[in-house]
A = this chain, B = another copy of it.
Amino acid sequence: MMKTLAHLTFAGLLAAAPAMADPAPVLDPEIRAQAEALMAAGLADDVGLEFTESLTTEIGPRLAGSDAEWRARQWAMIKLKDLNFQQAYIESFNIPYWERVTETASVVGDNPQPLLITALGGSTSTAKGGIDAEIVRFTSLADLKSAPADSLKGKIAFIDEPMVRSQDGSGYGAAVAKRSGCAAAAASAGAEACLIRSVGTDSHRLPHAGGMSREGALGVLPAAALAAPDADQLARLLQRGPVKVHLDIQARTSASAASGNVIAEVEGTSLKDEIVLIGCHLDSWDLGTGAIDDAAGCGIVVAAARLIQALPAKPKRTIRVVLYGSEEVGLFGGKAYAAAHADDLGKHVLAAESDFGAGRIWRLRTGFGEGALPYAEAMQDVLAPLGIIPGNNTATGGSDIGVLGAAGVPIASPDQDGTDYFDLHHTADDTFDKIDPDAFRQNVAAYAALTYLAAETGWDFRKPVEPETIDN
């Protein structure tokens, strides 16, 4: 029996709060057993790794809007049909296209030596043959933003801000600001170009690519990322006096290039118009073969869905696997999907996305209606044997499903350990050999169970808090 509110101290209220939520729903023992069987199958799965190996080997790099991304879609259609998905189709859209042609830099003057750089997505071209200009170092984007107008006339701005390593990737948000903001801030101060220390946590001579804008817009200046040791080198040279850099970036653009989302489905039964969406992205940056970003994510969600597809009895709801196109250059696939299915988003009961490498999942967060928290707890309880701890209810969805989350679609976020993710992210080093098969399989297991629970239980993850009946 509940006490009346009037009789509760504040501390007592806090202590009582969890008890006010619904008790964890009793998960049907047969559904739980099936989820556990799927986890066991996931831990022994080879389909996901083979899918990832095949994509990274046969297609390799697959820049958004490129021929290679087109080949990846055709490849995916064949693979998904080979894996016996009942439905597989492409939803096409167009994007503005950008590709690097040449990108070289060197220190000129008394200490001549090459620098290893990569142009940022959306970088404009320098004059043919490149430019020579003195660099001016800033330790943060804010620092550059405070440079007076015209103070960088004829100069190259250089933001030398390191990135903080973190398990949950939270160092990225701070570090990526300099990638998006460098060109505009440098231009405001009159600079001719912009260089940044790579957004990454490693110390290899492998610069990190990445777009200058989340909208795929062309930047206002030539802009490139330096490998971390090259940023260190410039900082050391600057301690000795002025440093002049030769920078030659040539990029090719096109107003419109073809892209698309590849979609496969496990058709539901009694609730087949309700969608459980699990996603990843098919495109990659062009320097590596996009293994951890994001062939692995596609291998994980495809393998998870395939395990459910292979069950003798299909779950009630439809499972939709979305291999998004053109994520890297502006989240175009996610936006195209949301636009194409705008009338249908109310039928999307849950969305989850694997796009943070192939490290072990260590936590399950959710973005559910408060009344649906017992369902989160039930899921977390099932996944616990995989070494996954419960997270909070603040998940808003990753890059491609963020737009679904914003439209009210409930989100599940199986959080991967990303401690090493930004050592490889967007570099030439993002290749298949970097994937730990055991960690990968743990992901397949978690996605299979999670997806199955969402599809078979019929739970309403949007569920608002029921008005409490206060006993007073």
List the interface of chain A (C-beta within 8 A of B). 53, 57-61, 68, 107, 110-114, 116, 203-206, 228-229, 232-233, 236-237, 240, 288-289, 427-429, 431-434
Contact = CB atoms under 8 A, between A and B. Distances in A.
Given A431-B229, A433-B229, A237 B111 contact: no
B57 A434 contact: no
15 contacts: A53-B236, A57-B233, A57-B237, A59-B111, A59-B113, A60-B112, A60-B113, A60-B233, A203-B434, A204-B429, A205-B428, A205-B429, A205-B431, A206-B206, A236-B432
A61 B236 CA distance: 15
Nearest to A111: B58
Contacts of A206: 204-206
Contact of A229 (B233, B236, B429): B429
Nearest to A59: B111
Contacts of A59: 111, 113
A46 to B, nearest CB: 15
Contact of A240 (B58, B232, B427, B429): B58
Q: 5 tightest A-B contacts by CB?
A: A60-B113, A205-B428, A229-B431, A57-B236, A205-B429
A114 B236 contact: no
A289 B229 CA distance: 10
Contacts of A68: 112-113
Given A57-B233, A58-B240, A289-B233, A203 B433 contact: yes
B204 A60 contact: no
A79 to B, nearest CB: 14
Nearest to A229: B431
A428 to B, nearest CB: 4
A435 B223 CA distance: 30
Nearest to A240: B58
Given A59-B113, A229-B432, 11 more contacts: A57-B111, A57-B233, A59-B111, A60-B113, A60-B114, A113-B289, A116-B428, A204-B204, A232-B433, A233-B289, A233-B432
Given A204-B206, A206-B204, A289-B113, A432 B232 contact: yes
Nearest to A116: B428
A228 B57 CA distance: 14
